[in-house]
Amino acid sequence: MKKVRIGIIGAGKIAERLHLPGYKDVAEAEVVAICDLKKNKADRLAAMFKIPAVYTDYKKMIKEAGIDAVSVCTPNYLHAEMAIFAANNKKKVLVEKPMSISIPAMKAMIAAAKKNKVLLMVEQSQRFDAAHQALKEILDSGVLGKFVSVRGKIGHSGPEYWSDDSPWFFDKKSSGGGVSVDVGIHILDLIRYVTGRDVKSVAATMANLVKKQYKLEDSVEAVINFKDGTMGVFSTSWCTNPYEQTITVYGNKGRATVWHGGTEGGKRFSGWYVDVKKPYSGNNEIKLTIPEKPKTGGPIQHFVNCCQGKAKCISDGTSGMKSMAVMLAAFKSAKSKKFEKITV
C-alpha cells in the first residue's frame, strides 16, 4: 500500500517529541514537509528527521508539498483554521489536543472534515497508553460489577518546564485557558474514554494558587455527572511535583487503578492494580503487568492506520469536541458556582 505522505505544521516540542519520532517508527508513512513561522525551528527538525521540504507558510505547504495528511502541532488557537484549511484541501488531519478553544470552532472543524470526506483525529495521547486501554477492557468486561464512579488526577509542574520558547501557553487568547485546557483535558478525555460515557454536567472550582505571574488557573477540582446518572471527580494542577496521573474506576464488586507518577533517578514509575472485593472476607487482588504496547499502536501509528482504512478512529473530532466542551463548561461553572450543562 502507498505510504501516507505527511506535512507537519508547527516545529515545536510536541512535533519533536511525539509526532516526528512516531512517524519515524511507522513504515507506512513518510514526513515529506515541515512548516513553522520560525524557519530556524523547521530547519532544525528537518535536519534531525531528514525531512526534504521546509515551509514558513502552512497554506503553501498544504497546496504544494504533495501531502496526504497533516499533523497540526501549533498553539491551540490555530488548530481550527489550520485543520479546516487542510480538510478543505482534501488532507486528512491529526490535530493536537485540545482540539480547539471554542465550540463553534470545533463544530466547523468537524463540518469541514465531513464535507470533504477526510479523517479528523484529535491527538488525545492518554487513549494510546497500553495500561489505559487495558483498564477500559477490565471495566467493559464486567469483572468490577456495575460501574458507579471514577476518580482522575493529572498534574505536573507547568509548561515552563516543558518548553522555554512557548509563552503562548500563558496567554489565554492563544491557549484558551490555563491548566484546564493544557493538562486537565487529558484526564477528562481519559475518563470519557475509559468509562465510555458522555458527561451531562460539571461543577468546578478553579484557582491561581502558585503561578501568580500568569493570571490563569493553575489548580482545578471538579465533579461530573454522566448522562446515565453515574458520576466522577477529576483534579488537575500545574503545581504538582512530581508528575502524577492516576485514574480509578469503581464498580460495586471491585475497583481498578492505573497510575503513572513520580520519578526516581530520572526513571518514571507506573503501575496498576485491580481489587475485586469479596465483602467481609478480604480482597481478591489481581496483580497484572502493564502490557508493553497499546493494542491500537501509538497515536501516530493509529492515525496512519486510519488514513489507510485499516482501523476505526478511537479519537475522532466529535469525541475531541465532547471532551473540550466539558472543560469549557467547567470555566463557566467556576464563575457561576453552579453545575453547568454540556451542550454538545
Ligand X SMILES: NC(=O)c1ccc[n+]([C@@H]2O[C@H](COP(=O)([O-])OP(=O)(O)OC[C@H]3O[C@@H](n4cnc5c(N)ncnc54)[C@H](O)[C@@H]3O)[C@@H](O)[C@H]2O)c1
Cell representation of residue 119: 479523517
| 184, 234 contact by CB (below 8 A) | yes
Segment near ligand X (CB under 6 A), from 6-14, 45-53, 114-122, 301-309? Answer: 6-14
In order, the DSSP letters of 218-260 are -EEEEEEEETTS-EEEEEEES--SS-EEEEEEEETTEEEEEEE
d(CA 341, CA 329) in angstroms, rounded, equals: 7
> 85: closest CA among 59, 123, 122?
59
> 13: closest CA among 185, 227, 168?
168
Is the bond leading into 159 cis (omega within 30 degrees of zero)?
A: no
Decide: is 301 part of the binding site for ligand X (CB under 6 A): no
Decide: is 177 part of the binding site for ligand X (CB under 6 A): no
- 223 forms beta bridges with 203, 233
Q: Mask: binding to ligand X, 243-262, rule CB under 6 A, as x and -?
A: --------------------
CB of 226 to ligand X, least distance (A): 24
Coil/strand/helix, residue 310? coil
Query: Can you tell me which of 88, 102, 157, 163 binds ligand X, judged by CB under 6 A?
Result: 163
Decide: is 86 part of the binding site for ligand X (CB under 6 A): no
In the bound complex, which residue of the shown chain has the CB atom lying closest to ligand X?
A: 12
Segment near ligand X (CB under 6 A), from 11-19, 43-51, 235-243, 279-287? Answer: 11-19
Query: Can you tell me which of 88, 102, 157, 166 binds ligand X, judged by CB under 6 A?
Result: 166
Segment near ligand X (CB under 6 A), from 70-78, 109-117, 208-216, 260-268? Answer: 70-78
Q: Mask: binding to ligand X, 98-127, rule CB under 6 A, as x and -?
A: -------------------------x-x--
Sign of CA dihedral 126, 122, 158, 226: negative
- 171 forms beta bridges with none
Query: Can you tell me which of 6, 9, 67, 86 binds ligand X, judged by CB under 6 A?
Result: 9
Q: Given the complex with ligand X, which of 14 and 112 has the nearer CB atom?
A: 14
Decide: is 11 part of the binding site for ligand X (CB under 6 A): yes
Positions that interact with ligand X (CB under 6 A): 9-15, 35-38, 41, 58, 73-76, 78, 96-97, 123, 125, 163, 166
